[in-house]
Structure 1
């Protein structure tokens, strides 16, 4: 029970709620309002003489594009499939040809088409081709982005429940891992088998869902094990209020203002969305970095859970131990 007076608790509620709302509005609205390319990886292919004007035009927007040069269209296609670039412009005798990957980011694909079309000579025909397209069940690519928040909420719920139910040590690890595995199987069954919005290997997608959920759940439970109930709030703040809007899953991390895009890559929602996109549409290309990030979150969180559980167990055992010292003396002899 709090020892603060009712007046202080009232003032705390009045100030805390607007502060949380302001933080949420800033985290969600600021990246959307300042969306622009920042070192966006884009390929350029073709003879140097024909690509030079295009390169100069793209490089004129300082810091917007990170140009990768390729000798021919085949090399540019391979780079897109490897997730080295979001798209490429191939200069052909008939005119520029835009290679996009809507599965990587529909927003970037549209941006690239519009940028090339705006710089083309009047009347010039700009050919386009979607090298890695999204499945027919998700033509706009929004289904994958919509899965990030439910996964985050599932992980937060798992971490909070483990804490509230008082699970410690190995039991906590088993509960978090089991819940994450069941979430992974359920999510894959819905997104892949029923809705058809994912097109990769079924078990690889289930593994991505599982690892993303475990990373969130372990982080929340680990913070709670070290900090107490306040750790649940801190974990929720990191994952939901910062991780989701900074993830860039709906657009691309390179379209977010810095340092939001960089932060988002290192938080579980952003890493989880990138891993799922790699295994669902790109045969696992580009999955190494996000998988390592999620594994680190999961490992650190589970380690904190084990350490916190041992501390609580030791504290409980110490409290239950009777104080040491000399025992009571012999009873006095009765007066005779």
Structure 2
């Protein structure tokens, strides 16, 4: 009986080792780590949004303006970054250029002031600034009325369509790249194959950018702005993310998919300024957001949709850097790779039959 039990246990252990290999076990541990990072990143970014150093223009007679700027700058927690502006026209122009996120217009002949906001740049930010300014005005025995001078489109609830559009483009980019690479081994076999995959990715990016622009434009009427501007932005976002994913896979093989998910999904999405624009995010996420594709894409999409393309140069340079860097790294790692890596071998269906 004892021998039978021992044989049963041995058979069971062999089945376990066969079903869950050491390699698979390590991959599962990696997935667990990504899950923990996902929860930490999203909860850390979103659990306590509060305004910090929100750029705010102040239009008032010169002596009062200087005093009010000092008062607003000294509010507990530093929610505002106020600066004096010469006129309402200048305030509206800076709002349109995305240089400020709000403007307080002081009535020199009464006690009823106005707060100009741009809801198209993020409804949550506009709503967060309003109580801060209202409280400060109340302490001065004044009232304030909020005016949304660049409101979100009726089909764009809370100005979130740009963010979800970019998230969709990012998902399409790294999934396409992963499929292109994994279908024939986790790493490109040679320079020619890398070039072909990058070319295929470029064609896919053009189609994906077009599809996204059609859905949020003619189909759903979720975003205003130029159709071709959104199309071009989408193609760049998809290619930047896809090229980055191909580079990660060329560097680390199948583990590169995890690195791409870490960069784009775990770090990039919560720091993109979508649900909560940058001034509402904690310092870490506020710092990395503009440098990652989801953040650069979201900012650019909102600029194209609501701000006539103002303030897109920086985000487009960021996306271009990811696209160029991913392309160059993919090619270099493919051309100068060391031969003999099992991950570089073509899939069985791609092997030519013997002559």
TM-score (ref. length: structure 1): 0.86
How many Å separate the matches in 1 of 2:169 and 2:235? 9
The count of residues paired between Structure 1 and Structure 2 equals: 314
Does 2:36 correspond to 1:22? yes
Work out which of the residue numbers 235, 246, 265 in structure 1 matches 2:271: 246
SS at match of 2:310: coil
Work out which of the residue numbers 36, 54, 58 in structure 1 matches 2:72: 58
Q: How far did residue 315 of structure 1 move?
A: 3.2
SS at match of 1:42: strand
Work out which of the residue numbers 156, 160, 167 in structure 2 matches 1:142: 160
Q: How far did residue 12 of structure 1 move?
A: 4.6
Instruction: Specify every segment of 5 or more residues in structure 1 that has no aligned partner in the other structure, as ranges.
Output: 320-336
Q: Which moved more, 1:196-205 or 1:51-60?
A: 51-60
How many Å separate the matches in 2 of 1:232 and 1:12? 14
Q: How far did residue 16 of structure 1 move?
A: 4.5
Q: How far did residue 8 of structure 1 move?
A: 5.4
Map of 1:77 onto structure 2: 92
Work out which of the residue numbers 181, 185, 197 in structure 1 matches 2:222: 197
How many Å separate the matches in 2 of 1:160 and 1:58? 50
Show CA shifts across 1:261-299 (max 9, x none): 111110110011111111111111000000000000000
SS at match of 1:121: helix
CA contact (8 A) 2:34 2:258 kept: no
CA contact (8 A) 2:72 2:136 kept: no
Q: Judging changes above 3 Å, is the alpha-carbon distance between structure 1 residues 227 and 29 closer, same or farther for their aligned structure 2 residues?
A: same
TM-score (ref. length: structure 2): 0.81
Q: How far did residue 18 of structure 1 move?
A: 4.1
CA contact (8 A) 2:103 2:116 kept: yes
SS at match of 2:115: strand
Work out which of the residue numbers 46, 59, 80 in structure 2 matches 1:32: 46
Please tell me the root mean square deviation across aligned C-alpha atoms, in Å: 2.5
Does 2:143 correspond to 1:119? no
Q: How far did residue 139 of structure 1 move?
A: 3.8
SS at match of 1:171: helix
Map of 1:210 onto structure 2: 235
How many Å separate the matches in 2 of 1:243 and 1:205? 20
Show CA shifts across 1:74-120 (max 9, x none): 10000000110111111113322100000011111112222222223
How many Å separate the matches in 1 of 2:295 and 2:157? 21
Q: How far did residue 229 of structure 1 move?
A: 1.8
CA contact (8 A) 2:125 2:279 kept: no
Map of 2:288 onto structure 1: 263
Work out which of the residue numbers 339, 343, 346 in structure 2 matches 1:315: 339
Map of 1:329 onto structure 2: none
Q: How far did residue 68 of structure 1 move?
A: 2.5
How many Å separate the matches in 2 of 1:136 and 1:172? 40
How many Å separate the matches in 2 of 1:89 and 1:224? 50
SS at match of 1:132: coil
How many Å separate the matches in 2 of 1:12 and 1:231? 14
Instruction: Specify every segment of 5 or more residues in structure 2 that has no aligned partner in the other structure, as ranges.
Output: 1-16, 345-355
Map of 1:225 onto structure 2: 250
Q: Judging changes above 3 Å, is the alpha-carbon distance between structure 1 residues 285 and 10 closer, same or farther for their aligned structure 2 residues?
A: closer
Q: Judging changes above 3 Å, is the alpha-carbon distance between structure 1 residues 20 and 48 closer, same or farther for their aligned structure 2 residues?
A: same
